[in-house]
Amino acid sequence: MSTQNGFAPGLEGIVAAETQLSHVDGLKGELVIAGFPLAKLAANAAFEETVFLLWHGRLPTKTELNDLKNELAALRPLPTATLNLLRAAAPAQTTPMDALRMASATLDLGSSKGDHLNTAKMIIARIATIVASYHRLRQGEELIAPDPNLSHAANFLYMLTGSPPSDARVRGLETYLNTVVDHGLNASTFAARVIIATQSDLVSAVTGAIGALKGPLHGGAPGPALDTVFEIGSADRAEAVLQAKLDAGERLMGFGHRVYKVRDPRAEVLSAAAEKMYRADGDMALYDLAKTVEETAVRLLAIHKPGRNLQTNVEFYTALLLHGLGLETDIFTPTFAIGRTAGWLAHCFEQIKYGRLIRPQSRYIGKMDNEWTPLAER
């Protein structure tokens, strides 16, 4: 949809912020994170390095990186009230994304009011603890205390299982978290900026962003994308199953993007990371099946919606990579939130500096001269 008389229904093409955090070129299929081409940053940086880069605009020195790692590690334990909430949410069958949204709102309980940077560190550290802890509770398992000697990514995997993860798995998760850390003015980032622009607070901004990320048109697609691969089961069924979905008017999860009209560069990075991991220690047959599903889906979508350029998006290979890391489908989107929280907070810092309330307009299309009917006469 395009702008009509100053009205852009999905705000397409409207520039509502200037940012130094990421540059998305949807026609070339390029993503630059704080000056680094995605492929260079994602596969090399520790997640904490990426956090520092987004928050300070440069890479950390060795000492700065160690300091940040230690600070985040010390902030991991959750307030008792947050844990109690998670313990109550599990038997009520609350989904992990809803539990994350509820729990994130309690994050500043018990922590003294610090400056924005300290609050941001606390949020980053604890979001991962919430996701891992809630997963354990849902499985009916005891909680595992965070290990301050492990990195952010390694500790998250450790808190899910209780076993120290292999280096290959930690690298796989770091690559994923770096890949999804920021992406222009996407829906959840916009939500965070709108909230912080009112001079609200970082916990509110992140909680609102989590609510926006949850929807299947944004971060909620990787679970269903993997379900489709499993439903297809073997390469010879790909065409029939996908065609039936399109005939039934369903959207193929993991394909199409508001901005990218070529293959999402994040799909490229995650597909390479997934291939590496599956080759080293995984089910290569599943990786090969996913490749066939991808090729078939892109081919069928070109016929189904000619001229729309519906290509693979980040979610398709997110699903495969996170599955290869041993994560259950229902924590794919919460794990996305662990990475994107760093971007949300960085955008909040930019918005705070910019200091302008975000307040677009609506065009009234309702009636103007209704007659008032008293209640008794309706």
| Residues annotated as part of the active site | 257, 315
- Which is nearer to ligand ACO, 136 or 257 (by Cβ)? 257
Asked if 55 is part of the footprint of ligand ACO (rule: CB under 6 A), the reply reads no
116 belongs to the binding site for ligand ACO (CB under 6 A): no
Q: How far apart are CA 155 and CA 165, in angstroms?
A: 9
Which of residues 238, 253, 325, 327 is near ligand ACO by CB under 6 A? 253
Q: How many CA atoms lie within 13 A of 162 on its CB side?
A: 6
Site for ligand ACO in 132-171 (CB under 6 A): none
Out of 27, 109, 217, 280, the residue judged to bind ligand ACO by CB under 6 A: 217
Closest CA to 109 of 96, 95, 124, 126: 126
CB burial of residue 62 (10 Å; 0-12, 13-18, 19+): exposed
Find the shortest distance in angstroms from Cβ 30 to ligand ACO.
16
User: Judged by CB under 6 A, does residue 263 bind ligand ACO?
Assistant: no
- Measure the CA–CA gap between 49 and 62, rounded to whole angstroms: 10
What 3 state SS string does 60-124 have? CCHHHHHHHHHHHHHCCCCCHHHHHHHHHHCCCCCCHHHHHHHHHCCCCCCCCCCCHHHHHHHHH
Residue 219 interacting with ligand ACO (CB under 6 A): yes
What residues have CB less than 8 Å from 376, skipping those under 6 apart? none
Q: Which of 23, 218, 276, 291 binds ligand ACO (CB under 6 A)?
A: 218
- Contact between 315 and ligand ACO by CB under 6 A: the answer reads yes
| 314 lines the binding site for ligand ACO (CB under 6 A) | yes
- Token pair listed for 108: 């500043």
Span near ligand ACO by CB under 6 A; candidates 23-31, 98-106, 249-257, 342-350: 249-257
Nearest residue to ligand ACO, scored by beta-carbon proximity: 256
343 is a site residue for ligand ACO (CB under 6 A): no
Q: Is 126 helix (H, G, I), strand (E, B) or coil?
A: helix
Task: Determine, following the binding rule CB under 6 A, whether residue 299 of this chain makes contact with ligand ACO.
Answer: no
Chain residues that interact with ligand ACO, rule: CB under 6 A: 216-219, 221, 251-258, 301, 305, 308, 310, 313-315
